[in-house]
Copies of this chain bind each other. A is one copy, B any other.
């Protein structure tokens, strides 16, 4: 007769995990209650065909009766596995990333994984702290949208070289991790082609930080389309601005310093485009009539601004699902070649790209 009381039952314990103080029901409780071994209960839980159908029924009944809750942490520890995936987002309050996160969680959940969330607010320091904490929970893999200014050395230091990582949206130099990004270059090229097709020849690229990889790629697409059409990119019409509405509006004047002004602008993103439209309007230039504007992202405001904004839809939720699937694939194929994927974007033509073309 073995004593079932835990050795320490006399002293006070740290507050237990589950629900308001009750001790959790364990496989031992179930096994004892119906006189089978813990192994048998475990086999039932894991759906093993080894256990007799009638024994299984008795176990299952008792499981329900005692409202047993599986302790996946304990199981994972024993089995040396994990069913969690860490998702680290630079800015969850950005609808683009929020949608992305929703897609990730949806796809992960449907495969029985649980999402460990971390958000960094674009701070490399916070990112470091968040990653360290999350790694202590032994996630099977990690989906990381790096904070602006992340150093790959710092990131690999905390993650280890060989972790199962999927990078989203921003590259990190010198690591061999899977990478998923938007097709920034093609998107910007599509917007540029669209404007050219409308008859514009003097086109600016407006907004964004030139150093950021997404801005570089979008500028490259812009330049490519211009070149294909035999048009010249005027260096003074490559205008930088912080990616927010106010700064963008304030930079509007930079478009009109020459005798010859552009008649259209491909903007770094929707926010910048919205800012530019504000800036144009306040100068008496009506966007969509006197000047054509395109954005990037298709944020929800794009459809309802006036004029509505021609832009590139990026389908962030679908990107989230895709990211989850790529990571899950990596988990089961640790030795497959590194993936570098670029997701298609779709041109949405609206009113803002109307306008005069001379």
Question: A-side interface residues toward B, CB under 8 Å?
Answer: 13-22, 24, 67, 69-74, 76-77, 79-82, 84, 87, 91-93, 95, 98-99, 101-102, 105-106, 109, 112, 114-119, 121, 129-130, 133-138, 140, 159-164, 245, 274, 300-301, 304-306, 317, 331, 334
Contact = CB atoms under 8 A, between A and B. Distances in A.
Contact of A114 (B137, B161, B164, B301): B137
Contacts of A18: 138, 160, 163
Nearest to A22: B162
A77 B73 contact: yes
24 contacts: A16-B81, A17-B76, A18-B138, A19-B159, A20-B164, A21-B162, A69-B135, A69-B136, A70-B136, A71-B136, A72-B136, A73-B77, A73-B138, A92-B99, A93-B102, A102-B119, A102-B121, A109-B119, A109-B129, A115-B116, A116-B116, A116-B117, A301-B301, A306-B306
A22 B160 CA distance: 10
- The quantity of this chain's copies bound in the complex is 2
Given A71-B138, A114-B133, A92 B80 contact: no
A115 B117 contact: yes
Contact of A98 (B69, B93, B274): B93
Contact of A92 (B82, B101, B121, B129): B101
Given A22-B162, A135-B69, A81 B15 contact: yes
A87 B117 CA distance: 9
A3 to B, nearest CB: 19
A115 B118 contact: yes
A87 B114 CA distance: 11
Most buried by B among A14, A101, A102, A274: A102
